[in-house]
Amino acid sequence: MTNAELVLNMLAEVSATEISLERQPSGYDESAAVAKEGAEVARDARTSLEERTGKNTVSCLNAKVLVVRSVNNPSYQTATSSILYFQ
The CA distance from 81 to 87, in Å, is: 12
pLDDT tens series, the chain, 87 aa: 788 999 999 999 999 999 999 999 999 999 999 999 999 999 999 999 999 999 998 887 766 665 555 555 555 555 444 444 333
For residue 60, the Cα-to-chain-centroid distance in whole angstroms is: 14
